[in-house]
Amino acid sequence: MQAEIGLRPNLVRRWANGVPAHPWLTVAPVLALVALFTIFPFIYAAVTSTRQMILTLPDQTPFVGLKNYLDVLQDASARQAAVNAVVFSVVAVTAVTLLGLLVALLLNQPIRGFGILRALVLLPWAIPLVSAGIIWRLLLHGDFGAFNGLLLQLGIVHSYIPWLSSRQLALGAVIVAHVWREFPLPAILFLAGLQVIPPDVVDAATVDGAGAWQRFRYVILPLLKAPLLIVLVYETMIAVTVFDLVYVLTGGGPGSATTLFSWYAYAATFHFLNLGQGAALSFIMAAVLLLFIAIYLRLLRVGRDDT
């Protein structure tokens, strides 16, 4: 059999624990690609984060240990970006999850025409993030935004509101645009979860006298733990690393009002040309993400039975 797949017999050795060599050989190209595109950049970034690497000083790249990390932690702008990122992530993930769940519950109803809606609901998610940013900028602009025009026509406001120029409103506006772009995926995941819940279980709860809220809280929600975990982990990753939307909508302004940690890492790298600090910021961001994910896993404790 080994000869049939074209491998020399002497290559097909066994490891000491009895695992044959050829499975390793077959996955070797994939492993090499992973090493090339994941492990190497990771190690390179780790090394970069411990050096002074400023593009305008290409000949001076000394080892500086953890200085880049310390500089970031002591930098008031980075701290502001971190605070913004936490606010953004908490509000955005909560909103995306709740909206996704509500839409899924609605689409799960046996109502004629909802089949088309299930496809349409994916539309915002299918739009590239940069395009979504441009759409929202044109909608919200304080001088010519269509949303402002609508509010004015309806008599709700007396003059255009500078959604993206106001320090109080700008982060909220970015969150709204982000939620609009992101909610379809959770909605579809929750819908898939809802559709595999046996109707008998829900019927039994109804027979036992459970109301709509009780059925949702004690029957449906526990059975949605697995998709909920996926949604929370995925959306947290997206919220913490979101960049494109800020880039197009506000450029991190006004002032530092919408400067998120991911945007700040970009700015450190490409605006300030400080690759060492940019790499340090990226590692800090990755560490925070891992922490978030660990907390979710701990809180939700999804066991094999749930999946």
Partner 1 sequence: MARKSLRVWRWAAMLVALSVLTAGCAQGGASSGSVHLNFMVWSYGIDTIQDNIKKFQSSNPSVTVSLADTSWFNYHDTMATKFTAGGAPDVAYSSDHWLREWVSAGWIVPIDQYCPSLASYKDEWAPYALQGMTLNNHVYGLPYYADMVIFIYNDKLLKQAGFDHPPATWEELTSQAQTIKSKGISQYPIDIPMKKDDPWTIEIFYSMVYGRGGHMFDSNTNPTFAESGGPAEQTLSWLRSAYASKILDPAVFESAEPDVVKTTGSGQHVFTVLAKYNLAELNQGQHAQKGNFKMALMPGSQHSTVGFVRFYSLTKAAVSHGDAAVKASCNFLQYFGGKTDGQYKVVKRWAVEKGLGFANLPLYDDSDVSKSINAWGNVDLERQQAKTANVKEGLTRWWGTWDIYAREQIDNAVSGSSTPSQALQNMNTKWSQLKS
Q: Is 58 in the site for partner 1 (CB under 8 A)?
A: yes
Q: Is 181 in the site for partner 1 (CB under 8 A)?
A: no
Report the candidate in 89, 94, 95, 130 with the shortest Cα–Cα distance to residue 285.
Answer: 89
Query: Which is nearer to partner 1, 20 or 255 (by Cβ)?
Result: 255
Among 74, 144, 155, 198, binds partner 1 (CB under 8 A): 144
Across-strand partners of 83?
none
| Rounded Cα–Cα distance for residues 205 and 207 (Å) | 5
- Number of residues engaging partner 1 in binding (CB under 8 A): 40
Report the candidate in 40, 60, 44 with the shortest Cα–Cα distance to residue 52.
Answer: 60
Q: Is 6 in the site for partner 1 (CB under 8 A)?
A: yes
Give the DSSP letter of residue 263: H
Residue 256 C-beta: closest distance to partner 1, Å: 6
Among 251, 294, 295, 299, binds partner 1 (CB under 8 A): 251
Among 56, 109, 153, 307, binds partner 1 (CB under 8 A): 56
Report the candidate in 148, 168, 165, 170 with the shortest Cα–Cα distance to residue 157.
Answer: 148
Q: Is 276 in the site for partner 1 (CB under 8 A)?
A: no
Q: Is 50 in the site for partner 1 (CB under 8 A)?
A: no
| Rounded Cα–Cα distance for residues 210 and 203 (Å) | 9
- The amino acid that residue 270 corresponds to is F
Q: Tell me the per-residue interface mask from 91 to 130 with partner 1, x by CB under 8 A, - otherwise.
A: ----------------------------------------
CA distances from 94 to 20, 228, 233 (A): 48, 11, 12
Region binding partner 1 by CB under 8 A among candidate stretches 17-25, 83-91, 251-259, 281-289: 251-259
Q: Is 125 helix (H, G, I), strand (E, B) or coil?
A: helix
Query: Which is nearer to partner 1, 222 or 255 (by Cβ)?
Result: 255
Q: Is 255 in the site for partner 1 (CB under 8 A)?
A: yes
Across-strand partners of 54?
274
> Residue 68 belongs to what H/E stretch?
helix 67-74
Across-strand partners of 51?
63
Q: Is 4 in the site for partner 1 (CB under 8 A)?
A: yes
- The amino acid that residue 89 corresponds to is S
Residue 139 C-beta: closest distance to partner 1, Å: 12
Query: Which is nearer to partner 1, 105 or 162 (by Cβ)?
Result: 162
Residues forming the site for partner 1 (CB under 8 A)? 3-8, 55-58, 77, 137, 141-144, 159-160, 162, 164-167, 170, 247, 250-257, 259, 267, 270-274
